[in-house]
A and B are shown apart, each in its own frame.
Chain A
């Protein structure tokens, strides 16, 4: 009993000092956990966004990731339909999968024949229904609704373009986009005028352009290396949150994209997107997928890219937030260290005679150390528990307080959500960290107390 009980009673005896120390620890825990919850929110939001777009894993032709971007002819996957069927049927992979879908990405030139405007674009062809399924992934219950593709239930020639593409091709008015300026000096238009040969090719079968027309022409290279132009009916311009993407983005039906590139040749895809139920399944899924590809599709020269490789921004952002979090945690740890250390040092000075008395009665140095270390331990434990509880309550208040913001990589405002409740690792880690810091900070004063000269301690006034 004694050491723990005496430590507790001494803390209660000096209530004001103990409360001040506890307050510092509670504020520390609050800061750590709320920032941790915010950081987790950023991570979950980014991850959800990226997983909805690029999936967890992609099967690509070998070299596509490094050299083949926008070159479907050289880096297409011929057997993509058979691979998809095989992947879905795999007894180990199947239960982990939510969506397996092909995409075709290609570079090209988009042109607005009517406005004589053109722009290099990066077009993606996808299966709309499966793309919508990709967007339903929400493993972290992040407060964003699944986004249905604007191509849903649209005709085969429908397309969605980035806001920047719409601006450059002067499609703002036909698409009813507000806050979309036209260039002030029309003389600069020459720099972006559609090349005459392309305009001729594009305009070969074109009806006369008219006001309100949202058609664009997309020029791509076919599998044989010949130019081919397709007409797309633009349904909508979307903002993707990143200007560089907005300025090149074109989305269209996969079949239409394949028709443009491959014509009568067998259609191919540039990637097969695999979305898993949980991000944590990536290693197992990747290993199983690799075995499957090696065993049955070795001649197709395929490789697997995972979520981290496909979205380097995600890793960079998480590293940034982890670094800031570590810095804040260290800072608070130092503050707690000094606060508890100061409290314990004061206690040692105040109880010097008591220390001398206990030592005279026969309490060993270790016993004296225990007394003060237990005080630090109790302060740490109570401070950690209270800090965790306060942080949980504060996070819930914020989460239900109607605070909205626009996180990085998004264009829409969403409710501010701090992930504190349920983040067992963070909660336990923070609590154990505080207990450890408080105990360690009590160690030095405790050591000093234990080494006091008994006679001098008894003489202390």
Chain B
């Protein structure tokens, strides 16, 4: 089952009482176990598309189906629970909770997902080890470097084993070396854990890692390159 399917999705924002179209006519199927990259220039609608996929925003029209469930009819609380069960978010600015340690930050979504305490601890330690921060579990975000913070954010997003991981330009605030390391880490974890990841970026290095690439410009999808086509083109 595709983790997310968008059909005829339109979205506009009000800017000084004037509707500004952000996305129009979006039809997209994100396939499972793929590293999908949303590629496009700034302002093209990548973040809006990610927000709609992640159910933190609602479309003006069209349908979004996540893990086989149409989300339009869900109440706010139901949608919150749905997000806790199905999504992992990685943000450009890491967005760690500053008063929680690395361990607690990773643990937080597991609590929201209702995981038992014993399993939580084991899972958090596994995830922190996986991102190479096993020895930083008790550090607050302020005591970590940018790269380390983003690795904690990755561990946090992946810890509940979500249907879909949504990463909004997670390397934009990192230097190129650290950014490359983060991309490599995410790619490795995506493969190892058979995750579906949607990664927005206009970085060619990210695009090079993509299984599927979705090109977006001026709020519309201009091209979709699937893994099989990309492999054929490469060979």
With both beta carbons as reference points, the residue of chain A lying nearest to B156 in the complex is identified as: A361
Query: Would you call A359 and B56 a contact (CB within 8 A)?
Result: yes
Question: A454 vs B57: C-alpha distance in the bound complex, in angstroms?
Answer: 7
Q: Which of B57, B77, B89, B99 contacts A10 (CB 8 A)?
A: B99
A67 CB to closest chain B CB (Å) equals: 73
Q: Which residues of A contact B97 (CB under 8 A)?
A: 6, 354, 357-358
Question: A16 at interface (Cβ–Cβ under 8 A)?
Answer: no
Partner of A362, one of B51, B81, B91, B98: B81
- Beyond A13-B99, A353-B95, whether A361 also contacts B84 by CB under 8 A is yes
Q: How far is the CA of A356 from the CA of B95 in the complex (A)?
A: 9
Q: Which 7 pairs from chain A and chain B are nearest by CB?
A: A362-B84, A9-B99, A357-B95, A362-B83, A454-B56, A364-B80, A362-B112
B109 within 8 A of A: yes
Instruction: State the Cβ distance, A161 to closest chain B Cβ, in Å.
Output: 76
Q: Which residues of B contact A (CB under 8 A)?
A: 51, 54, 56-57, 76-77, 80-85, 87, 89, 91, 93, 95, 97-100, 108-109, 111-113
Across-interface contacts of A361 in B (CB, < 8 A)? 83-84, 89, 108-109, 112
Identify B98's interface contact among A2, A13, A363, A366, CB under 8 A. Answer: A13
The reply to whether A354 and B98 contact each other, CB–CB distance below 8 Å, is: yes
Is B56's CB under 8 angstroms from A360's CB?
Answer: yes
Q: How far is the CA of A338 from the CA of B69 in the complex (A)?
A: 45
Within 8 A of B (CB), among A333-386: 353-354, 356-366
Hey, which chain A residues are within 8 Å of B51, CB to CB? 454-455
Shortest Cβ gap from A382 to chain B (Å): 17
Contacts A13-B98, A364-B80, A458-B95 given; 14 further ones with Cβ under 8 A? A2-B108, A9-B99, A354-B98, A357-B89, A357-B91, A360-B54, A361-B83, A362-B82, A362-B85, A362-B109, A363-B84, A365-B80, A454-B57, A455-B51
A356 to B111, CA, bound (A): 17
Closest to A450 in B: B76
List B contacts of A9 (CB < 8 A).
99-100
| B77:A364 contact, CB within 8 angstroms | yes
Q: How far is the CB of B114 from chain A (nearest CB, A)?
A: 10
Docked Cα-Cα span, A366 to B75, in Å, equals: 13
Partner pick for A6 among B54, B76, B100, B113, CB 8 A cutoff: B100
How many angstroms between the C-alpha atoms of A185 and B93 in the bound complex? 96
| Pick from A6, A359, A362, A366: contact of B99, CB under 8 Å | A6
A289 to B76, CA, bound (A): 67
Enumerate chain A residues within 8 angstroms of B76, measured Cβ to Cβ: 364-365
In the assembled complex, the Cα of A2 lies from the Cα of B114 at a distance in Å of 13
A89-B228 Cα distance, complex, nearest whole Å = 109
B98 touches A458 (CB 8 A): no
Min C-beta distance of A12 to chain B, whole Å: 8
Residues of A within 8 A of B80 (CB): 359, 362-365
Bound Cα distance from A356 to B57, whole angstroms = 12
15 A-B contact pairs sorted by A residue (CB < 8 Å): A2-B108, A6-B99, A13-B98, A13-B99, A353-B93, A360-B56, A360-B83, A360-B89, A361-B83, A362-B84, A362-B113, A364-B81, A365-B76, A365-B80, A454-B57
Closest chain A residue to B100, Cβ basis: A6
Tell me the minimal C-beta distance from A154 to chain B in angstroms.
78
Which residues on the A side are within 8 Å of B108 (C-beta)?
A: 2, 358, 361
In the complex, what distance in Å separates the CA atom of A307 from the CA atom of B208?
Answer: 94
Distance between Cα atoms of A357 and B168 in the complex (Å): 13
Complexed CA–CA distance, A94 and B7 (Å): 90
Cα A184 to Cα B125 in complex, Å, equals: 100
A360 vs B93: C-alpha distance when bound (angstroms): 14
Residue of A nearest to B99 (CB): A9
Q: Which of B54, B57, B77, B84 is within 8 Å of A365, CB to CB?
A: B77
Interfacial chain B residues near A364, Cβ < 8 Å: 76-77, 80-81
Bound form: Cα–Cα A10–B100 in Å = 10
Q: How far is the CB of A454 from chain B (nearest CB, A)?
A: 4
Q: Which residues of A contact B56 (CB under 8 A)?
A: 359-360, 454-455, 458
Once the chains are docked, how many angstroms separate the CA of A2 from the CA of B108? 8
| 0/1 string, A260-303, CB within 8 A of B gives 1 | 00000000000000000000000000000000000000000000
Q: How many angstroms from the CA of A364 to the CA of B114 in the assembled complex?
A: 13
Shortest beta-carbon distance, A349 to chain B, in Å? 15
Cα(A13)–Cα(B77), bound, Å: 29
Which residues of A are found within 8 Å of B81, using beta-carbon distances? 362, 364
- Nearest CB in chain A: distance from B168 CB, A: 9
Cβ distance A42 to chain B, nearest Cβ, rounded Å:
48
A359: B residues at CB distance < 8 A: 56, 80
Report the separation of the CA atoms of residues A366 and B77 in the bound assembly, to the nearest whole angstrom: 9
Q: Shortest CB–CB separation between residue B234 and chain A, in angstroms?
A: 35
Chain B hits for A360, CB < 8 A: 54, 56, 83, 87, 89
Name the residue on A nearest B93 (C-beta).
A353
Complex contact B111–A2 (CB within 8 A): yes
Q: Closest residue of chain B to A12, judged by CB?
A: B99
User: Interface 1/0s, chain A 1-43, versus B by CB < 8 A?
Assistant: 0100010011001000000000000000000000000000000
Chain A residues near B77: list those with CB within 8 A. 364-366
Q: Which of B77, B81, B91, B99 has the most CB of A within 10 A?
A: B99
Measured CB to CB, the closest approach of chain A to B199, in angstroms, equals 16
Q: Chain A nearest CB: distance from B165 CB in Å?
A: 12
Q: B80 — nearest CB in chain A belongs to which residue? A: A364
Q: Shortest distance in angstroms between A272's beta carbon and chain B's nearest beta carbon?
A: 71
